[in-house]
């Protein structure tokens, strides 16, 4: 995909290898629906990179409920300066992620951890989540993982504004600010909704 080549630059071959794994083994393992194969680049991989400009240099990132590695793996491919942890509770998915990270040669900067967010006690500069849970529930899992001055970047659909409204009570109790940021999905005409909690 020519647009993806522009977006990933020197890392394009690695991104292409990842998409190939998703289109084949990802479907076989039940992590990607067969109907999603034609939309892997725009809807999943490039969509995952919508938050990339919001992440500062050299940050530690945890991808909660990583699943097939989205957004964590595309971020790690595009940004070698990031230290990324893929946190996934299900054994099958964690095994898939471990294989993929090894095959792509990302093990120097990507760690796979099997576990639930509420049982994980590390702290990170950035917590990411994509299609994991409604925001009020997601906050309960993700906020304890934030380092001081850290932020949560949750990739959401068009319900982002409503979810943020529903989470206001919890945010006020924790004295946290939240906003919905509409960002372009790189290389497409699509918009990605990101809930940003600081």
pLDDT in tens, 21-52: 999 999 999 999 999 999 999 999 999 999 99
Q: 2-197 belongs to which CATH class?
A: alpha beta
Provide the pairing of β-strand 83-88 with 178-184.
unpaired
Residue 2: pLDDT above 90? Answer: no
Instruction: Please provide the DSSP assignment of 87-125 as one string.
Output: EE--HHHHHHHHHHHHHTT-TTTEEEEES-GGG----EE
User: Rounded to whole angstroms, how far apart are CA atoms 111 and 101?
Assistant: 8
What would the pLDDT profile of 135-192 be if each residue is shown by its tens digit? 999 999 999 999 999 999 999 988 899 999 999 988 999 889 899 999 999 989 999 9
Tell me the pTM: 0.95
């Amino acid at each position: 995909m020519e647009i993806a080549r522009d977006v990933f630059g020197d890392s394009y071959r690695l991104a292409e290898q990842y998409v190939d794994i998703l289109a084949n083994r990802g479907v076989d393992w039940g992590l990607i629906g067969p109907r999603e194969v034609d939309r892997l680049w725009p809807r999943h991989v490039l969509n995952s990179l919508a938050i990339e400009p919001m992440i500062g240099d050299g940050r530690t990132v945890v991808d909660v409920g990583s699943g097939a590695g989205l957004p964590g793996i595309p971020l790690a491919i595009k940004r070698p300066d990031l230290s990324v942890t893929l946190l996934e509770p299900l054994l099958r998915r964690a095994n898939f992620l471990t294989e993929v990270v090894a095959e792509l040669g990302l093990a120097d900067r990507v760690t796979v951890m099997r576990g639930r967010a509420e049982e994980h006690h590390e702290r990170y500069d950035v917590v990411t989540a994509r299609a994991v849970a409604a925001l009020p529930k997601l906050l309960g899992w993700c906020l304890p993982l934030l380092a001081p001055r850290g932020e949560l970047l949750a990739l959401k659909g068009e319900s982002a504004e409503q979810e943020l409204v529903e989470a206001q009570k919890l945010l006020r109790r924790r004295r946290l600010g939240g906003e919905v940021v509409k960002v372009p999905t790189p290389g497409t005409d699509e918009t990605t909704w990101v809930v940003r909690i600081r």
